[in-house]
Amino acid sequence: MANTLEIKEQFKEDFKRRIVERYGRPLEQAHITEKYMTLGEMVRDYASINWSDSKNAVAESKSKQMYYFSMEFLMGRLLTNNLMNLGVYDVVKEGLAELGIDLNELEDLESDAGLGNGGLGRLAACFLDSLSSLNLPGNGNCIRYEYGLFKQKIVNNEQVEVPDQWLSLGNVWEVRKPKHAVDVKFGGHVDMWMGEDGKAVVNHYPSLVVRAVPYDVPIVGYDTKVTNTLRLWSAEVADDACDAASLNEYVNEVREICRNVYPDDSTEHGKKLRLKQEYFFVAAGLNNIIKTHMETYGTLSNFAEKNAIQLNDTHPVLCIPELMRILLDEYKMEWDEAWNITKKTMAYTNHTVLSEALEKWPIQYVQELLPRVYMIIEEIDRRFKYALSHEFGRTDLINECAILKDGQVHMANLAIVGSHSVNGVAALHTEILKNDVLKNFYEIYPSKFNNKTNGITHRRWLLYSNPQLTKLLEKTIDSDFKKHPEKLENLMKYVDNEDLQKEFMEVKMERKKILAKYIKDTLNIDIDVNSIFDVQAKRLHAYKRQLLNIMNIMHLYFKMKEDPSYRIYPRTFIFAAKAAPSYTFAKEVIKLIHCVADKVNNDSDVSPFMKVVFIPNYGVSIAEILMNAADVSEQISTAGKEASGTGNMKFMMNGAITLGTMDGANVEIVERVGMENAEIFGLRADDVALIHRENSYDVWKKYHQNPEIKRVVNSLIDNTFSSDPKDFKLIYNELMFKNDEYLLLADFEAYVHAQNRVEERYKDRKGWARMCLVNIAQSGYFSSDRTIEEYAKEIWNIESVKM
């Protein structure tokens, strides 16, 4: 084994040589992007040794593999993560420094791989990190989008979307694998007849054939050789292009499949494109898995024993009829055998209870785009309805649970019928699925339902993004927690230690200074690092109630203006949120936050006590400097609506206090830290359900009862925060003329009180530090390692790779 010094010298030599080989000039003349690319390629090549060994180990042991099918993987940057997981970060940093290169500058050149919208996509990325780090054979399957989720700019207080050209420097982590390309067929018509063997012969004459080419990304585990694969599919022209009207049209049709994450679906074209994307990556991914399986075993009868597929929400649910199609049409299997294999292979995760987010496809689209797959869906639906009346004796549920009804394919229903496991992502969410949203299915298939509370990788979200806290923890409880995050609980022994409390507050201050510098550099706003950093960072959505947060700020502003003797403990309210491009209400809330910020930040009476900051372009890299600088974590969704939340866990792990409702995983956070170490307020999920059931809420009553509420609501339309009378009318109307669907005014007073309590508690510095330490100590449960171990044992039945 070479010592560190030798490794470093070797690295420096290799690095210099590679620059010359690749760019034809010496290091001294190389551009910084060339240095970045070279380092990335070296790291990838280094990881490739383990990658290859991992593939061999899995193939030789013939162990079962899991494939995580997800339309989204929000990977963020990989350079730091891979250097750290490979255990070479320090050596590389020093080596580069000796060559006059600052590793941090190279790290900053990497674009975020923003292949997703929010929590669902980041969860998939955390899961990949945990799978490799736990030595489990689990791979990702997704689309290689040409553009990531849009970049958010703020112009005149409004969100403007800019394309995210994340591939402009190339992607050093991917390896193109043309030998694994497959053709995916769309449209056209199907011929069927009875063959001599009495089995159906199916011929599909597609109107469009697209070549799917995989790009593989190594997923490097922490302190292990196990390296899994994230396979990203890219669409290219096929040799046999079919009857595309013109070459240009065909090329365009192909290219748009992989152009964007979640393309605009407000038009028919956009909707059909989304469906095309879904089938594209499902068909390509499945085809590949089957090919590999056949090469190893020569039969598909043991397919479910050797492969598990997790469907991340309903987006990849076409996996179910597509696997049926392959087994029936291409391998001539009988329906019952094919169906058993399919159900045993597939497992479905639900991520939302919001009915508008449950996917449904017009039958006509599916029929046109996927004629054979549609026939199979029809047959699944027919047999399911038959079983409902003949097996389950539940004719009453036929309409309720149908896959095909009111002209649509109900994807969640298809997912439940065609899989062996249905899971929610937090305890409360799973209960709501069982007792409310999916109640009928729970009655039919009680044993399919289970809970897997989400988690986050403590490597990215603690070890790498918060080295200051990591160092303090290592000093206090030793470094076991790095491999075994549940060991963070050892910190409980020290939470009363005043020296530790003080040191923790120093760490927090360092992180706050780093964030304050970022805010100064990018927004030119000065913030007080001694103020309470109160952060709400997540996608903008009505149910997440960013509006409730800003309404409290408006309320505080009015109160301080009205009464000069009333002053709050200095606080910096920080928001970060992207709104969907067509979500007008959400965009209006962003504008409101900016207009309130203008008023508050420029008012010399008030601004010493409060500042409002909106950090644009929230994504993984911003989260890495934002979460760990927070004192207060805002998790204030209407109870029952947030399936889990995962930001809440990142804040907790970095020692912030949850100010939240009893929703999603907040419930389990509080269960662990105790009510006294969080600030919980507002209606409970049961209360909300009752209010809706009995239709007992009257927003105008709230408005008239409480003059403070009235003042805030009126200020939305009386030009206090904007001179344009059109501004915020939409928000006002949503609240007052749609009876405040998300119950903001119902929770307003409770929220204001909770905010007051936060302030009181912050003034007790030791008590506050103790609370933060308890939160860190109890956060180990929320490592995605725990989540993945549960999936592996209870759903996938996979075991660790021996290398």
What residue number has its CB nearest to ligand 26V?
119
Q: Cβ 551 to ligand 26V, closest distance in Å?
A: 21
Rule CB under 6 A: say whether 454 interacts with ligand 26V: yes
Q: Cβ 380 to ligand 26V, closest distance in Å?
A: 24
Q: Cβ 226 to ligand 26V, closest distance in Å?
A: 25
Residue type, 780: G
Q: Which is nearer to ligand 26V, 30 or 688 (CB)?
A: 688
Q: What mask of x and - would describe binding to ligand 26V in positions 657 to 686, judged by CB under 6 A? A: -------x----------------------
670's tokens: 């509080």
Q: Cβ 84 to ligand 26V, closest distance in Å?
A: 24
Rule CB under 6 A: say whether 635 interacts with ligand 26V: no
Q: How far apart are CA 607 and CA 289, in angstroms?
A: 59
Indicate if the alpha-carbon torsion angle 38, 40, 41, 43 is positive or negative.
Answer: positive
Stretch that binds ligand 26V, among 23-31, 38-46, 117-125, 227-235 (CB under 6 A): 117-125
Q: Which is nearer to ligand 26V, 167 or 689 (CB)?
A: 689
Q: How far apart are CA 337 and CA 327, in angstroms?
A: 9
Catalytic residue among 185, 225, 306, 538: 538
483 counts as catalytic: no
Q: Which residues contact 504 (CB under 8 A, 6 or more apart)?
A: 469, 472, 655, 769, 772, 773
Cα 398 to the center of its chain, rounded Å: 34
596's tokens: 């309130």
Neighbours of 136 (CB within 10 A): 23
Among positions 208, 547, 643, 771, the unique one binding ligand 26V when judged by CB under 6 A: 643
Catalytic residue among 77, 315, 650, 770: 650
Q: What mask of x and - would describe binding to ligand 26V in positions 532 to 571, judged by CB under 6 A? A: ---------x------------------------------
The string of DSSP codes covering 145-199 is: -SBEEEEEEEETTEEEEEEE-TTTT--TT-EE-GGG-EEEEESSEEEEEE-TTSS
Q: Which residues contact 360 (CB under 8 A, 6 or more apart)?
A: 408, 409, 410, 411
Rule CB under 6 A: say whether 592 interacts with ligand 26V: no
Whether the CB-CB separation of 135 and 661 falls below 8 Å is answered with no
The string of DSSP codes covering 227-278 is: EEEEEEEEEEE-S---S-SSHHHHHHHHHHHTTBSS---SSHHHHHHHHHHH
Q: Cβ 688 to ligand 26V, closest distance in Å?
A: 16
Rule CB under 6 A: say whether 425 interacts with ligand 26V: yes
Q: How far apart are CA 732 and CA 716, in angstroms?
A: 6
Range 182-241, binding ligand 26V (CB under 6 A)? none
Q: What mask of x and - would describe binding to ligand 26V in positions 34 to 73, judged by CB under 6 A? A: ----------------------------------------
Whether the CB-CB separation of 558 and 517 falls below 8 Å is answered with no
Rule CB under 6 A: say whether 116 interacts with ligand 26V: no
Pinpoint the alpha helices (H) of 478-626: 480-483, 498-523, 546-562, 584-601, 620-626
315 counts as catalytic: no
Stretch that binds ligand 26V, among 283-291, 396-404, 502-510, 636-644 (CB under 6 A): 636-644
Q: Which residues contact 192 (CB under 8 A, 6 or more apart)?
A: 200, 201, 202, 203
Among positions 114, 118, 221, 780, the unique one binding ligand 26V when judged by CB under 6 A: 118
Q: How far apart are CA 189 and CA 206, in angstroms?
A: 6
Among positions 310, 621, 644, 783, the unique one binding ligand 26V when judged by CB under 6 A: 644
Q: Is 754 helix (H, G, I), strand (E, B) or coil?
A: helix
Q: How far apart are CA 420 and CA 457, in angstroms?
A: 27
Q: How far apart are CA 74 and CA 724, in angstroms?
A: 38
Range 602-621, binding ligand 26V (CB under 6 A)? none
646 counts as catalytic: yes
The string of DSSP codes covering 25-70 is: S-GGG--HHHHHHHHHHHHHHHHHHHHHHHHHHHHHHT--EEEEE-
351 counts as catalytic: yes
Among positions 57, 84, 123, 261, the unique one binding ligand 26V when judged by CB under 6 A: 123
Range 280-339, binding ligand 26V (CB under 6 A)? 313
Range 332-391, binding ligand 26V (CB under 6 A)? 351-352, 354, 356-357
Q: Which is nearer to ligand 26V, 388 or 649 (CB)?
A: 649
8-state DSSP, 456: B
Q: Cβ 72 to ligand 26V, closest distance in Å?
A: 8
Q: Which is nearer to ligand 26V, 235 or 586 (CB)?
A: 586
**What's the CA dihedral at 369, 371, 373, 378 to 10 degrees?**
120
Among positions 84, 120, 507, 713, the unique one binding ligand 26V when judged by CB under 6 A: 120
Among positions 642, 679, 727, 747, the unique one binding ligand 26V when judged by CB under 6 A: 642
Token pair 């007052």 is found at: 736
Coarse DSSP helix, strand, coil percentages of the chain, rounded to the nearest 5 percent? 55, 15, 30
Q: For ligand 26V, how many residues bind (rule: CB under 6 A)?
A: 19
Q: Which is nearer to ligand 26V, 82 or 646 (CB)?
A: 646
Stretch that binds ligand 26V, among 100-108, 243-251, 321-329, 639-647 (CB under 6 A): 639-647
Q: What is each CA distance from 714 to 610, 707, 710, in whole angstroms?
A: 22, 10, 6
Adjacency order of strands within the sheet including 571-576: 610-614, 571-576, 532-537, 632-635, 657-660, 679-680
Q: Cβ 647 to ligand 26V, closest distance in Å?
A: 8
Q: Cβ 559 to ligand 26V, closest distance in Å?
A: 33
Q: Cβ 643 to ligand 26V, closest distance in Å?
A: 4
Helix 584-601 vs helix 546-562: crossing angle, to nearest 10: 30
In what helix (H) or strand (E) does residue 288 lie, and over which residues does it extend? helix 268-297
Q: Which is nearer to ligand 26V, 313 or 631 (CB)?
A: 313
Q: Cβ 539 to ligand 26V, closest distance in Å?
A: 8
Catalytic residue among 231, 276, 539, 578: 539
Among positions 645, 655, 660, 780, the unique one binding ligand 26V when judged by CB under 6 A: 645
Q: What mask of x and - would describe binding to ligand 26V in positions 476 to 495, judged by CB under 6 A? A: --------------------
Q: What is each CA distance from 482 to 289, 654, 802, in whole angstroms?
A: 33, 14, 21
Q: Which is nearer to ligand 26V, 235 or 428 (CB)?
A: 428
Q: Cβ 642 to ligand 26V, closest distance in Å?
A: 5
Q: Cβ 187 to ligand 26V, closest distance in Å?
A: 27
424: left (phi over 0), alpha (psi -120 to 50) or beta: beta
Q: Which is nearer to ligand 26V, 38 or 783 (CB)?
A: 783
Nearest to 238 by CA among 251, 222, 224: 251
Stretch that binds ligand 26V, among 32-40, 152-160, 643-651, 673-681 (CB under 6 A): 643-651
Nearest to 413 by CA among 442, 386, 435: 442
**Which residues belong to the active site?**
351, 538-539, 544, 646, 650
What residues line the site for ligand 26V (CB under 6 A)? 118-120, 123, 313, 351-352, 354, 356-357, 425, 454, 541, 642-646, 664
